[in-house]
Every structure is written in structure tokens, then in C-alpha cells.
Amino acid sequence: MKANLHFLATALAGEKYEFADNWSIETDKAILRDYFDKYFYNDHLRTYRKRPIYWLYSAGKAGGFKALVYMHRYSSETTDIILKKYFKPLQNYLCQRLNEISQTIDSQKCCLLNQKKVNEGEKQLRQIKKRLAALDHYESFLCALAIEHISIDLDDGVAHNYKKIQTDHKKITYNLLVRF
């Protein structure tokens, strides 16, 4: 497993990392995570000529939520599963983080300690609040479509199904997936 992971990371990162002294399995994981986060979907769109078999649920750049779904494994429960198993835990984590940072800032301010740490904390607070606002907006889309339990027919094709899972019974279309 480690050898396979290292092979993939080396292929994606290029030769400059192959013989690095500080190479570790964490470096391999970071390279793969970075590839899937930034480059995989665009490569996939190019390969499949804008008819992707992997669909990317995304809350946008500010939201920071992404989930890849393989079209052939999609079921009527998929959006609901994404909402409950992946989206909600991320949202809860960010809320907890927001509270922790707020408490840290308050303790730093009242003790008149390091102003630099206070400023860094306030910057993190603004970023998390912005991200949570984007996630709240995206959550309304996810919830609206999760209760629909929309199923797809693979014989209808990628473009039809891609649009279908983003449209509710009232024919309102939500931007749930990244456009291709």
C-alpha cells in the first residue's frame, strides 16, 4: 500500500520530490489530497469530453465543501448521505472551531496578552464565518434535493442525469454540482 501511494504521489508531484530527504507517507498523502482537491476534476472533464462519470458536489470556493460521486454508484439516497455523513459533520466542526477561537481571543484580550495572536484569531474568525455563510446557503440546496430522493437512469445519459439530480419536483434547478 505504501509503495503504491508513493508511486502515485511521485507521478503526480514530478521528479523534484522523488529523492527529497524529508519525504514521508504524510508527504504522499498531502500530494494526493492536493491533486484531488485542485486538479482531478478538470483532468476528468478533459478526459471524458465534458461528460463526467464523477460528479463534484461543491459549495464553491468560499464554502470549502467538495464531494466526488461516481455516477454509476449514485442512488436516490446519495444526496441525503452526503448531507448527513459529510456535510453536517464539517459544518459542526467549523462551528466548534469558531467557538474555540472566539474563546481564545477573549482570553487573550482580557489578559492583554499577545496582540499578534488576537489579530490572527480574528482573521481566522472572519474566514470561518465566511465559510459557514457559504455552507448555510449550500445546505438549503442539499436539503431541498435530499428530501426528493431523486433516482437516475444510466440509459438517459450523463447530461440528462446531471441536470435531473439538481432539479426538484417543482422544476426548480439548484447549483448543487460543479458545471461541466
pLDDT digits (tens, 9 = 90+) for 42-85: 999 999 988 999 999 999 888 789 999 999 999 999 999 999 99
Smallest CA-to-CA distance from 105 within 131, 83, 129, 72 is with 129
The three three-digit cell numbers of residue 123, written as one number: 482573521
Band (16; pLDDT cuts 50, 70, 90)? low
Give the three-state DSSP class for 137: helix
Q: What is the pLDDT of residues 114-129, one digit of tens each?
A: 778 888 889 999 999 9
| Predicted TM-score (pTM) of this structure | 0.85
User: How far apart are the C-alpha atoms of 53 and 36, rounded to whole Å?
Assistant: 15
Collect all residues with Cβ–Cβ distance below 8 Å to 170 and sequence separation of at least 6: none
